[in-house]
Amino acid sequence: MREHIDAEDQRDAEVEEDVVREDDKDEDVEAQGEEEQEEDGEDQSRRKRARVNTEGDSRPTGSSPKVEKRKQTLPRDVDGFIPGSIVRIQLENFLTYDWVEFRPGPYLNMVFGPNGTGKSSIACAICLGLNFPPALLARAPDVNSYVKNDKQSGYIEIELKGASGKENLVIRRSIQRNSKSAPFTLNGKSASGREINARMAELNVQVSNLCTFLPQDRVAEFARMTPQQLLRETQRAAGNENLTSWHDTLISAGKELRQVQELVNNDREQLKTMEDRNANLERDVRRYEERRALEKKIELLEFIVPIKEYYEAREKYRIMKPKQREAIRNLQRLQKRHKPYIDLDKALEQEVKEREKQRESRKAAAKRKFAAMSEKWEENEKLESQAEDIKNRLDNLKKSERDRLASIKRLEKSIAEGEERLANPPETEDLDDLNRQLRELQHQHVIDQQQVTDLQERQKANVAKGSEIKYQIDQITRNLQQLDSQSHQKLEALKRSDSDCGAVVEWLRRNQNRFRMEVFEPAVLCVTVPNRGYIDAVESCFGLTQLKTFVAQCEEDYQLLNRLCVDTPEAIGRKARINTWFKVRDENRLAPPPVPREELKALGFDGYAIDFIECPEGLKWFLCSDVRLHRTAIAANPRMVDPNRAMDMAARANGANYIIGRVYNQVTRSRYGRRLPQNTTREIQQARMLAAATVDPQIKRDLLDQLNNARESLRAVEDEEKELTKLDGEIRATHRAYKEAYDNIMDRKKAVVDAQRKMQAIQLKLDEYRKKLERLQNAKPVDVERNNLKQSLLTLAHRRVEIVREYVAHMRSAIKEQEKATRAGLEFIQACANKSALEALCKEQKEEIQQVEATALKIHAEFKALKEDSKRKLEITKTKYEEVEEDVRESFHEMEAAGTIQAKSSEEWEAELQQRREELDMNMNTNANVVDQYNKRKAEIETLTATIEEREKRILRIEQNIKTARENWQPELEKLVTSIGQKFSAAFDRIGCAGEIRIREDEDYEKWAIDIMVKFRDHEKLQLLTGERQSGGERSLTTILYLMSLTEEARAPFSLVDEINQGMDQRAERAVHNSLVEVTCRPESGQYFLITPKLLPDLNYHERMKILCVNNGEWLPEEKGLGNMMGLIDNVLRARQANRANSAS
């Protein structure tokens, strides 16, 4: 056991010496800075461990590495404590303690004592007293659980060293057994947990970091920490204080960069699709624009032509107007000169008209008289015809009388025969009895018919039920077939992930006949990989968009597919968001494979991706042109391929892709400088799209159960059908018997009814004969009829005489009217002769007047026509002016101002208009929707391009931020890990083992890690430290050596490890102890707590370390302060000094 000394008396002197040494050290560091940089390469070579093989094994070199002097980073006060160090701890009713108070030293504090005395309780008190969560201790989850068993309350009081020139922080936390709340006081004043946390952050206290605070129950967790967690905890505990913030910046910026790059890649794919679609529409758009230009030109010409025609018509009207005025004046002058002749000619012409009127009036009167004569003549003819009829009837009276008498005799005979038949009717059955039998039979038939109806209803229900069950069986069978169908499984998975794409696939399967050539479904449905060993690699060659792209084989089908599905809702009832592709097939423009297949096999590759798929032949153009499967080499076994040769192959091909094992390599050449090849790698994921979805066994079992139940139900329906068929036969036999009985009764009834009808018919005929006989017997006598006819004949003769007299009167009146008409005709002829004589006498004057008048009329007609034409064209021009657009008017005014309109005639403008119309007819009409789609997509392309540019700028900013952060972070991290690694390797060398600290880099900064590699036996290789591979003692040894190596770089004011030496052998424990004392007792080291239940003999100690012995038990004095070992030591020393003084005197 080490002999104790008066630490308090020695502390001030030690601190002064430390300050002096630190000042000297600072000067030495500054003076040697440049020399160390020059010698860095030599130092690194000296610090490297000797390798005995290429597998990473190492052995002690026999020389300890040079320990680089570390600049003081933690400000130390005159008392030796740095801010945040623990100056004092006082506990009451806490776990095993009733009350305790101890003061640790500023350097190594070794806490030891028997098991169960309360050593680990100190670690618990530090954690809980500084407001860190109980979960860090891996013990009880609640603070009130730490109150001593037989007590109701207690407290933890910790005094931390304050900043230079400021008072210490005294933090007290009171705990109650019956309350989960544990309030704080700070320097005697109430404080919140948030305030305590803020003060801990200011002092950089890191109790939650396993690298600085390792309780007993969490020692094993250190080895179980992932390398990524170890890196983050190491950064928090040591090195540059900005390491964690730089690392967080890199992680967040890296995630953001990947997200933005993914967005940019997706946007670029979408942009390429949109540009391809617009490129296919450019020809139609140009044709449309040319047509619109022609239409505008035609619209202008259609506006110019009527205006030009109006101008020309107006000019002709202005020229004709004076000519018309002159012709009228000439005619008026001539008419004035020949006025006597004209007046006489007009008088004679008036007389001719009057005579002609009188003549026509007389002729009409004569015609009326002749018409009256014709009427009387026709009336007389009718009366004569009636007289002839009466004479004929007189001649027929004798014959009618003989026929009447004969009819009377015949009727009397028929009446006698009928009366005899009525008196002797035939014998018949009783009709009422027959009707009664018929009603009884029909009543029974109604009952039977109801049974038939019921049977039919049951048969219908049975048939319907059977049909429904058969339909269910068919449906279930189809569902089972679909579950086993890989294509259906893929389609269902596609519909779940992209409803638009799935709906268009189903529509396309029903409407392939609408396309000229086959339109291929997305590759996810029509591409299969027979060898499932390559399915992950093949799918990794596709982008998600490419897997869902519809491929057309001609532009016509491409346009039709886009119009029906994308641009309009005609296909699926809504506009679908799908990807379509078409490119004119040109094998010459397709980049060839990087190397021939024979050379590819020699490199160790299995083939190109296109070799491992099955798909329609027409789809391969898309897979080669867009997906480039023919240029992507695949090697399933990574050991068969030399990565360097594969890289060289891709670089020689000016860039290519290849897959080795589960790593996808994308080789490109830089666009700058020497155009060096660049390789981007990523791990391929498990195939999800090309692999068929797995069938849920429960769904299949449910369908099979439904199928069996349906078949059982169908058998029951068939059995019932047999029973109903048997019952139907019985009912049919009953119906046949009813039919026979019914027919028999009806035949007998018909015989009775027929007999009754015959007797009724005889009675009806007899009545009719009697009426006829009575009518013939009561007919008028022949003499009376004869006298009546003679009287009618005499009346007609008198009427004919009157008509003859009226006819003679009309004839005489007609002769008189005819004479008057003849006289009027002669007078008309005389007037015409007089006019002709005048015309013959003045023929020259008349011809001159007619000639001048005809000329004047012609000129006037032309003038009027020109005037009307000018007005009409003016109205047309006005209407056209109102109809045309403003730009057409402006174009016209510009042309008119330039004199272009006047330079051509209307015929020339019309010819040009016809020429433009012919050009328009030759220009095929393009749907305006195509142009709208083009312009809309063009705007979307511009927007998307701007978005891509903005995101690329954002990527550059992020990359710059990453570069800046990495340039700050990585050197500091490497410096820290190198420093820790040197100390770690040296510590392992001293115990005859090997250990290294490595940084594992990754594209994802979140996956950067620190690997602790250890080897405890000569025949082993360096192995990664894990929670399972090494033994407990090996893990403990590695842990303490790593924490010890970290101590010199630590930024935390204090560190703690609890019983880390458990499981170590004596040699390792001694070496670790001695190394720990050496490291933690250096002047620049921080406060360190080592809790251990035992100590080996003959260990190394240092004057800066402090040993705290825990002596806890039932026989301790009740008075506080008694039993303090430091007090006992002080008393012993004072007694010795007193004895020496007495002896000297």
Task: Give per-residue pLDDT as tens, 973-1021.
Answer: 888 888 888 878 877 887 778 888 888 888 888 888 888 888 877 777 7
Going by pLDDT thresholds of 50, 70 and 90, the confidence category of residue 1120 is low
Q: Are 198 and 204 in contact (CB under 8 A)?
A: no
More confident residue, 66 or 366: 366
pLDDT at residue 1036 greater than cutoff 60? yes
CB atoms within 10 A of CB 888: 18
Going by pLDDT thresholds of 50, 70 and 90, the confidence category of residue 924 is low
Mean pLDDT to the nearest integer, 882-887: 78
Query: What pLDDT digit, counting tens, does each position of 176-195 carry?
Result: 888 888 899 998 889 998 89
Q: Which residues contact 1061 (CB under 8 A, 6 or more apart)?
A: 1036, 1040, 1069, 1072, 1073, 1092, 1094
pLDDT at residue 504 greater than cutoff 90? yes
Task: Return d(Cα 206, Cα 1051) in angstroms, integer.
Answer: 9
pLDDT at residue 25 greater than cutoff 60? no
pLDDT at residue 2 greater than cutoff 50? no
Query: What pLDDT digit, counting tens, does each position of 1037-1047 carry?
Result: 777 777 777 77
Going by pLDDT thresholds of 50, 70 and 90, the confidence category of residue 59 is very low
Query: What pLDDT digit, counting tens, does each position of 599-657 carry?
Result: 999 999 999 999 999 899 999 999 999 999 999 999 988 888 888 888 888 888 888 89
Task: Return d(Cα 150, Cα 796) in angstroms, integer.
Answer: 162
Highest mean pLDDT (candidates 207-211, 385-389, 1025-1029): 385-389
More confident residue, 916 or 121: 121
Largest CA-CA distance found in the chain, in angstroms, rounded: 214
Which two structure tokens, joined as six digits, stand for 752?
């009775």
More confident residue, 592 or 397: 592
Going by pLDDT thresholds of 50, 70 and 90, the confidence category of residue 550 is very high
- Report percent pLDDT > 70 for the chain: 84
Main-chain dihedrals φ then ψ at residue 520, nearest 5 degrees: -85, 140
Q: Are 912 and 280 in contact (CB under 8 A)?
A: no
Mean pLDDT to the nearest integer, 284-313: 77
Average predicted confidence (pLDDT) for the chain: 79
Task: Return d(Cα 250, Cα 427) in angstroms, integer.
Answer: 127
Closest by CA position to 341, among listed 856, 847, 838, 840: 838
CB atoms within 10 A of CB 910: 17
Going by pLDDT thresholds of 50, 70 and 90, the confidence category of residue 937 is confident
Which of 38-52, 471-485, 776-790, 1083-1097 comes out lowest in average pLDDT? 38-52
Going by pLDDT thresholds of 50, 70 and 90, the confidence category of residue 21 is very low
Q: Which residues contact 682 (CB under 8 A, 6 or more apart)?
A: 663, 664, 666
Quote the pLDDT of residue 419: 79
Highest mean pLDDT (candidates 52-61, 263-272, 482-491): 263-272
Highest mean pLDDT (candidates 121-125, 686-690, 885-889): 121-125
Going by pLDDT thresholds of 50, 70 and 90, the confidence category of residue 485 is low
Quote the pLDDT of residue 1026: 72
pLDDT at residue 290 greater than cutoff 80? no
Determine if the pTM surpasses 0.75: no
pLDDT at residue 155 greater than cutoff 90? yes
Which two structure tokens, joined as six digits, stand for 60?
């002690």
Task: Return d(Cα 1103, Cα 1082) in angstroms, integer.
Answer: 10
pLDDT at residue 585 greater than cutoff 80? yes
Sheet containing strand 1054-1058, edge to edge, reads: 213-214, 1054-1058, 1087-1092, 108-112, 1106-1109
Mean pLDDT to the nearest integer, 436-447: 82
Quote the pLDDT of residue 482: 64
Which two structure tokens, joined as six digits, stand for 480?
């089972």
Q: Which helix (H) or strand (E) is 719 found in, with range?
A: helix 697-777
pLDDT at residue 416 greater than cutoff 80? yes
Closest by CA position to 1106, among listed 116, 103, 77, 90: 103
Quote the pLDDT of residue 1035: 74
Mean pLDDT to the nearest integer, 577-603: 89
Highest mean pLDDT (candidates 200-209, 400-409, 531-540, 1068-1077): 531-540
Quote the pLDDT of residue 10: 39
CA atoms within 13 A on the CB side of 954: 17
Quote the pLDDT of residue 652: 86
Which two structure tokens, joined as six digits, stand for 353?
């008209």
Q: Are 428 and 757 in contact (CB under 8 A)?
A: no
More confident residue, 48 or 362: 362
Task: Return d(Cα 748, Cα 754) in angstroms, integer.
Answer: 10
Quote the pLDDT of residue 1126: 67
